[in-house]
Structure 1
Amino acid sequence: MKARYIRISTPDQNLERQLVKKHPDEKLYIDVCSGSIPFEERTKGKELLNAKEITYISVHAIDRLGRNLLDILTTLQYFDDNHIILKVDNLGIESLVNKKSNPAFKLIVSVLANISEMERETMLERQREGIAIAIAKGKYKGRVRGSKESDEDFLSRYPEVIKYLKKGSSLRDTAKLSEVSLGTVQKVKALIF
């Protein structure tokens, strides 16, 4: 049986890029989680690893499996050990050829997995730099590490978000109009509805 594994980081991301073609003969496994979470700890990743009838898995790109080189290689080894063929669509190659490991696949995937891990580290470094600049300018409004905020206190800081959500504005529009992050809008929505 064939399967297609899809991972998006947030619920508001579009799946269409990973579903460009129709795949009627594939069972879909869709995770909404960070690429930093190990594959075997993801809800659908775990299901896929335990699905004994799956013999062929497609992914759009190798970074859908993860953003950690060791985790990706561990997942690939599991597929190899269980004779599961992995096809990476954007590369057009498969992990097994004639039931044997494809050395070119391993080389290319190792390089791309390493790049994927570096991209994540770069993104986190930029985030830290941005926070440091905001702190220096006195604009950082982050919560003190280790402190907890009640739901009421949290909601009291975002009356505009509540107003736009109650009017029926979309999450993205509400975030733009209120000048807050999409994540903040999602958290407010989860607490008020």
Structure 2
Amino acid sequence: MPEQLKVCLFIRVSTQQQDYDRQISDLTSYCAQKGYAISKTIATKITGTKTLADRQDLQELLAAANRNEFQKVIVCEISRIGRNARDIRNTIDQLHRKKIAVVFKNLGLESIDENGNESFVTNIIIAIYSELAQEEKRILSERIKSGLAEARRKNKRIGRPTGKENIQEINKKYGKLISDLRKGTSLTDCSKLHSVSRNTVIKIKKLMAA
């Protein structure tokens, strides 16, 4: 039986509120259909607007590629690599130097063929979708700025919710810590028991008293 081709799943969501379970599920099913062996999964929550130098996930990907840990990188779509056309191209080029193909599941497209050769047509498609990803970033940024300006014009509050919503969020995250505080456990002991700073415990106690 021939050895399975090793691949890396590369997954990214933009915010801490999002989860990447759907991407992992979709790509895992795709690899099972293709008979690929998943040797590495890189899943992060980071904005695609950061540069290549500031993207720890991309640095991890390229380092693993240099160690020959896989032969293909599987992504749901090109914007998961990033939203800067130059950085997308740079990342793909570095993978190509190791003869590693990038598979874009939504396009049914591979960046190089089995012999490690780039296709002119494929490069054109990658360039177009990279520019589209960058343009989406620009449009989103403009919408956010416009929304903030409109909110300020209407004197609406901008920022994280406070009051009841914030207390509910704290209760959900630090429920056990709050329970210990109510039992009379000291600030220092709560800090040690729950591996948080003493200042965090103090802030939570103040919220409880509010």
| TM-score w.r.t. length of structure 2 | 0.67
Matched, 1:91 2:96: no
Determine whether 1:34 maps to 2:67: no
**Alignment check: 8 A CA contact 2:100 2:116 kept:** no
1:79 Cα deviation from its structure 2 partner = 1.2
- Displacement of 1:62 in angstroms is 0.3
SS of the residue corresponding to residue 12 of structure 1 reads coil
Counterpart for residue 109 of structure 1: 126
The AA in structure 2 aligned to 1:13 is Q
Which of residues 10, 13, 16 in structure 2 aligns to 1:11?
Answer: 16
Distance change (3 Å), C-alpha of 1:16 and 1:71: same
User: Paired residues, what number?
Assistant: 160
Flag the 1:96–1:41 CA change in 2: closer, same or farther, 3 A: same
Cα displacement (A) at 1:12: 2.5
Contact 1:94 1:102 in 2 (8 A): no
Q: Report the equivalent of 1:49.
A: 62
1:134 partner letter: A
How far apart, CA to CA, are the structure 2 residues paired with 1:192 and 1:10? 24
Amino acid at match of 2:45: V
1:182 counterpart residue number: none
Measure, in 2, the Cα distance between the counterparts of 1:80 and 1:167.
48
Shift of 1:31: 1.6
TM-score (ref. length: structure 1): 0.73
Letter of the 2:169 partner, please give it: L
Contact 1:131 1:140 in 2 (8 A): no
1:111-150 Cα deviation digits (max 9, x unpaired):
11111111111111111111222222222546xxxxxxxx
Structure 1 residue 2, shift from structure 2 partner: 1.4
Aligned with 1:101: secondary structure?
coil
**Structure with greater Cα Rg:** 2
Q: Give the 3 Å change call, closer, same or farther, for CA 126–162 of structure 1 in structure 2.
A: closer
**C-alpha distance 9-192 of structure 1, shift in aligned 2 (>3 A):** farther
Flag structure 2 segments of 5+ consecutive residues without an equivalent.
1-5, 174-199, 206-210
The letter for the 2-side match of 1:42 is: R
